[in-house]
A = this chain, B = another copy of it.
Amino acid sequence: MANPKGMRDIPPELAILRKDVFSRLSKVFESFGFDPLETPIVELWSTLKGKYGEDAENKLIYAFKDKWGGRELALRYDLTVPLARFMSETQVPLPFKRYAIGRVYRHEEPQKGRYREFYQCDADIVGSSEPSADAEILSVIGKVMKEFKLPGYAVQVNDRRLLRGIFEKGLGINRNILRVYREIDKLDKVGWGKVRDELKQFVPVNTVRKIKDVIDISGGPFDVMEEVSCQFKGIPEVKSALKDLEEIFELTKKTKSRLNLSMVRGLDYYTGPIFETIVKEPKIGSITGGGRYDTLLGRYGKNLPATGTTIGVERLIDVGLELGIFKLKKTISQVYVVDLGAKEYAWRVAKMLREKNIPTRVDLMGRNWKKQLLEAEKMKITYVVLVGPKEEKKGEATVINKESGKKKIVKLIDLSKTIRNF
Question: Is A120 close to B, CB under 8 A?
Answer: no
Question: Is A314 close to B, CB under 8 A?
Answer: no
Given A38-B10, A127-B365, verify A1-B31 contact (CB < 8 Å): no
Whether B35 lies near A12 (C-beta < 8 A) is: yes
Whether A67 lies near B64 (C-beta < 8 A) is: yes
Which residue from B1, B84, B93, B250 sits with its C-beta under 8 Å from A301? B1
Which of A59, A366, A375: most chain B CB closer than 10 A?
A366
**Contacting residues, chain B, for A369 (C-beta < 8 A):** none
Q: Convert A350-382 into 0s and 1s, putting 1 for each residue whose CB lies closer than 8 angstroms to a CB of B.
A: 010011011111111110000000010011000
**Contacting residues, chain B, for A300 (C-beta < 8 A):** 1
**Contacting residues, chain B, for A95 (C-beta < 8 A):** 364-365
Which of A9, A89, A301, A379: most chain B CB closer than 10 A?
A9
Closest to A41 in B: B41
- The distance in angstroms between the C-alpha atoms of A394 and B347, with both chains bound, is 57
Which residue from B35, B125, B133 sits with its C-beta under 8 Å from A16? B35
Interface residues of A in 1-45 (CB under 8 A from B): 1-5, 7-12, 15-16, 18-19, 23, 26-27, 30-44
Given A31-B360, A364-B95, A364-B132, verify A88-B1 contact (CB < 8 Å): yes
Count of interface residues, chain A, beta-carbon cutoff 8 Å: 100
Whether A9 lies near B37 (C-beta < 8 A) is: yes
Question: Is A75 close to B, CB under 8 A?
Answer: yes
Q: Convert A369-409 into 0s and 1s, putting 1 for each residue whose CB lies closer than 8 angstroms to a CB of B.
A: 00000010011000000000000000000000000000000
Closest A-B pairs by Cβ, 4 of them = A12-B35, A33-B333, A64-B64, A7-B40
Residues of A within 8 A of B (CB): 1-5, 7-12, 15-16, 18-19, 23, 26-27, 30-44, 46-47, 59, 62-68, 71, 73, 75, 82, 84-86, 88-90, 92-95, 97-98, 103, 105, 107, 117, 125, 127-128, 130, 132-133, 135-136, 139, 143, 250-251, 254, 300-301, 331-333, 343-344, 347, 351, 354-355, 357-366, 375, 378-379
Q: Can you list 5 A-B contacts (CB < 8 A)? A: A1-B46, A4-B73, A9-B38, A10-B39, A64-B65
